[in-house]
Structure 1
Amino acid sequence: METVQQAVGDRTAAVNYHTCNRELFTLRKELLEQLGALRAMVNDGESDARLELALRRAESELEDVTRRIMDLNLGLVRKYVALFASRSNEHVEDLESAGKIGLLRAICSYDPDRAPFSRWAFKPIQREVLRAVRDIDHPNLNPGDFEKRPAILAAKQAYLEVAGPDAPVNYADVARRAGVSEAQVRRVLLPPRLETLHTPASDQGEDEVAWEERLVDPSPSTEDTVLRRFNLRGIGRDLPKLESRERFVLARRFGLDGEPEESLRAIGERLGLSGERVRQIERKALAKLAETIAGTSSDASGRLAGRAG
């Protein structure tokens, strides 16, 4: 009896999940159409206070609906990440973050008139999680080699079952079995590794230099920091000239609001946009401010020259 009740409950939950998804995606599609119409009116020069308010309200509603869809479908991410449950907790968090990016990509590309969202979202989530696994466990493999890695390992195992566990690997045979090139097999089975940054770069006694001492310091110089802050102050004065979304992207991208700078992906996650779309908004906003930055730099040079004189 308890098993029957549990089965009924699972079916009810599944129906509710699909119903909620369908309703939220329908609402999101309507908001996107509304935003498109409002932005077209703004681009046609019909902007006024009421139109700007309606545009901001629609953007806020779209962000809220996207967040609700994310929350509803987080189980898809956790279910796939569970396939890698043997790794440490610190990496599970990284994998879940990557899976959320894939989930957001799926949300942005999904049409509610198509297949169920859970099926649609699988590939984007899988792609981002596997990319994170590669970055964590196999940073020396390019994406193409990593994708073929399971087939290559299976072909190697099949070869050793015939040739014997202690037989030297025949890369040509493994390549034939896996349907890849021999060079790809070698890259996967013999990836280059830098064991430690403390490995000496020379074996000449006192002249030994560790690799870490040869790495370029990524931190900006004092001069770069001063000039960057100076230019950002110039941008900050002209931010009201930008559209609300452009102001937000620049503020978060460069930390103009005093908070830490964010990546394109992180900003896109906030706005319900892809990283590439955020990059386009950033490029457009910076183009508008290019003359301001140039003018600010020229004024700064003139003042410094005057003081030097």
Structure 2
Amino acid sequence: MAAKILSHRELDPILDGFAADPDAFEARCLELIAELDRDGMLLEISDPTTWRRALPEGARRPAAGLLEQLRGDIERIETIGREPEAQLARRVEFARLRLGVAREAAGHEGELLDGIGQMSVQWFDLGRETPRKNKADERALRRAAELHALRTELVERNLYLVLINVERYTHSSINRSDLIQEGSAALFRAVDGFDWRRGLLFRTYAVHWLNQAFRNYLYNCSSTVRVPVYLQKALKQINQAQIRLGDTNASAEQIAEITDLTENLVKSALGAARSAYSLDADFGGDDGDGNRLRDLLTEEQDEDGPYSTRLEDVTLGEGLEQALAKLSDREQFVVRKRFGLGYEREHTLAEVADDLKVSVERVRQIQVRALSKLDTPTLRRELDPFVN
């Protein structure tokens, strides 16, 4: 027997009636959920094509880069008005409550089913048998699919916000497609936190999440070596101060005088502002059609190819030697033999003890002392470029 489907057209008037008393909305939804579960009623899963404008008949999508294709796809998505948006938000809350009831009945806790919502949609749409034989699990999967479909609809209908707000951050070296991906994920977090009871438009609330996602990505991923957020914020003030001074090479003392930053903080921030570039960095745009940095750095008659250790400020061997030079002769000898630095193999404590004519315990103590010296901030700077 075919399952009974409750359409959104039928559900919306019911939820609109519940919304007249926002404080009692959740309780009345739970009563409706219990009734629907008794009747074995499923919630409609909308076809995404229903909120997308079709291409004109005979029209072909022009060949373009990935970003242009994405922009074209988003422009075809129909935006949503205030009241339909509120109805959709109420459906999302209703589906989330119903999923919670199904989880409890199936004995699941936390966010166990959130990650399989999309797969659940595919299983149910294709009429496939789900891999769960337990009826309670199958109901929970269906509820996850219903919630995922509704969340996705609200996100897709607001994807244009990502394209609008990402323009504020394109001055950075971050790939625009990466920022768009972060913004799209942030919209899902905005959906989960949106409360239709406040009477706000979703876009008013979502913009905060978008800007937060863009800033966090810039702070955490704009540099190969992550720079602490407080230094990045200091750099913003420093850049503004340099503009006011009209001198991009202004000294730390000059910058500190016209900002609320200390001179030491200015020096630390300027030192952290060094940029790192991948040898595979593409200078032809986001579509990957341009020249790469490695092509520009290739040396003539370089048998080793475009990369050479001469491009590095310091090699691993030089870094090790500079760090070991800070140890005493005996400490250097123990570390070199124990870890095979300059030798064909590593040596045991007993072998090193035999060379030094001391006990094994004494060699172990020397090794511990040497390694503790190498673990200081000053000495670690010699090796940090080579340590993950």
TM-score (norm 1): 0.50
The structure with the largest helix share of the pair is 1
User: Radius of gyration: which is bigger?
Assistant: 2
